[in-house]
Amino acid sequence: MTTLSRFSSRQLGKNGPVVTSPALGGMSLSGAYGAVDDEEGVRVIHAYLDAGGTLIDTGDFYGAGHNEMLIARALRERSRDDVVLSVKFGALLTPVGMPAGFDGRPEAVKSSLTYSLQRLGTDHIDIYRPARLDPQVPIEETVGAVQEMVEAGYVRHIGLSEVGAETIRRAAAVAPIADLQIEYSLLSRGIETNGILDICRELGIGITAYSVLGRGLIGGSGTVDGSLGRMPRFQGDNLDHNRALVTALEEIAAAKGVTLAQLAIAWVAACGEHIVPVIGSRRVSQVESMVGANDVVLDDADLARIDAAVPVGAARGDRYPTQFMGQLDSER
């Protein structure tokens, strides 16, 4: 049974759902950053829900469907009405798991949705979003197909992911957009300078920020597991430089009596009431740390010190390998 919530509540966009902040990201429970244990994964999801969390983010390609089935297992004994499920679709996989492009065709939208509904064991998805822009399909067609599923009752709200300001405006002209999912952290602040943050504020679109902990650079174990070794920020001199940036935050966290991870989560949450951090947790202890971030209050002096320690553009190395950076409409 859910206890009194230890989370704050925020609305995703002017027309979107009210959710808890932070959200729980599911990708790390399906092997993205090293070995996982399904039993612990279920415990992680239960711990999040038991603390009062509501927003769970996944993708139909996380573990080639594994993540959705794990979430379905965890929710089997829970009330569906107590959970907001956010699902990304459209990434094409190969047998070795690497993305092979994206499919945003209307017929693919409906097919992907059908599989997700089955794997999740539900009759609707609360927020449904293309994982990336399909360069061969106008965003109007992809969003229009999701809107048809909204009208049919299979989807409640429409989201976007990793798209730029122009694409956001075009999508919002077709249907109400609840939120944009995009990387945003102390080490990834591009949306502050490329117009994405501004357009979301203008149009009343929420932001669900992922990789808030810099894929473990902030407050992590220090090991480079799973796919991290392919990330430019985790390679050579880039890694040394970025670790030094994080070290500069330790004094600030210590003065607040919080962990580095909690400081980073609180910083993202403090950047706007329309922003919800999405935190990927593989262990119950990480959920407890995430919840504790809600107790961190950052005043103007704290924010100024943080900004001085890690200013915009301070991190070195692209946030994805070169071939994947080219697939990001948000980086064009």
Which among 185, 239, 243 is positioned nearest to 214, based on CA atoms? 185
d(CA 140, CA 174): 6
Residue with tokens 């650079």, as numbered in its chain: 217
Active-site option among 33, 48, 62, 184: 62
| Cβ pair 86, 71 in contact under 8 A | no
Write the CB contacts of 224 (distance below 8 Å, at least 6 apart in sequence).
234, 239
Amino acid at 88: K
Write the CB contacts of 55 (distance below 8 Å, at least 6 apart in sequence).
19, 20, 21, 23, 24, 84, 86, 208, 276, 278
Which among 244, 223, 160, 210 is positioned nearest to 319, based on CA atoms? 210
Active site residue 128: no
Beta-bridged to residue 123, according to DSSP, are none
Just list the catalytic residues: 62
